[in-house]
Amino acid sequence: MRYVIIRDDDTCALTPVACLEELYRPFLQRGLPVNLAAIPRVNTRAVWRDGSPEGFRAFASGKEPPHLALADNPDLVGYLKANPGFRLALHGYEHTYMEFQRARGADLVHRLDHGLKFFAQAGFSPPTTFVAPYDQLSRAALCEVTQRLPILSTGWFELGRLPVRWWPVYLRKKLRRTPHWRVGTTRLLTHPGCLLSHQRDLSRMLDTIRRALENAPLTVLVTHWWEYFHRGVRNPAYIDVLHQTAALLASEADIRVISFDDLLHPDAALGEALRASGLG
């Protein structure tokens, strides 16, 4: 059995419910959970390194206050609660550029603790999983995050940014060539890049996903909801590829789509896959 976790980044108070509904109804109808990495208090003026607006601002009017918490969008909160197939992960704090690589000391602690409070204020259960904006974390951020949440999902790990006490475990992971690893009770997951991206060749996207899943016990598939509506323009061909992905995952007898939360209480089959992938 092969396992897949779907991770969609950047849901926030600026996210239209209609976008999530169009993208993920085919997944929910098939019983495939979707993990939304949600920004607890979004910076409505967030920009890329080049100064251009962040993609998740695609439907913003520009008249919003500088920050919006999840609870400030009651339609979104109600929709997510009404559809338990969506599972929420903590995605940074406000999604300023490289915030969890740059933040230090008290500021880092503030972003994590207040991010969790904004989840609670919206009435959501405490998240089990952290996703850093841009998949970038400093050594200090790794320490603070893993003291609070048992699962970290990111793109990759670098020895120089890891706590020194993690080095022996990380080197064993590298020798075993496992995609994921574990330090104590903390589960550390990587992914093979954003395979569902508007910057990739749509005609080859499904085949790329198939190949990524072929021999991997556990794969995290990453995408971003706003990419399907880049700059507010709906991309039907790209949306169709996402829906074909849902059909593929549901049709393969040896593929099971799970949530990050499922990693904490695995059944026997999932436990075997976790051991094979480095999470045992």
pLDDT in tens, 136-151: 999 999 999 999 999 9
Tokens found for residue 68? 């919006």
Model confidence at 102: pLDDT above 90? no
Q: Show the domain range for 125.
A: 2-277
Looking at residue 103, its pLDDT comes to 82
Average pLDDT of 108-134?
A: 97
CA distance 255 to 2: 5
Q: What residues have CB less than 8 Å from 133, skipping those under 6 apart?
A: 91, 92, 95, 96, 97, 98, 99, 100
Instruction: Yes or no: say if 200 and 236 are a contact pair by the CB < 8 Å rule.
Output: no
- Of 175, 176, 144, 171, nearest to 157 by C-alpha is 171
Looking at residue 89, its pLDDT comes to 98
Counting the structural domains of the chain, the total is 1
CATH of the domain at 241: 3.20.20.370
DSSP state, residue 24: H
CA distance 38 to 119: 9
Looking at residue 104, its pLDDT comes to 87
Instruction: Yes or no: say if 228 and 198 are a contact pair by the CB < 8 Å rule.
Output: yes
Q: What residues have CB less than 8 Å from 76, skipping those under 6 apart?
A: 11, 13, 15, 17, 70
Answering whether pTM is above 0.95, one says yes
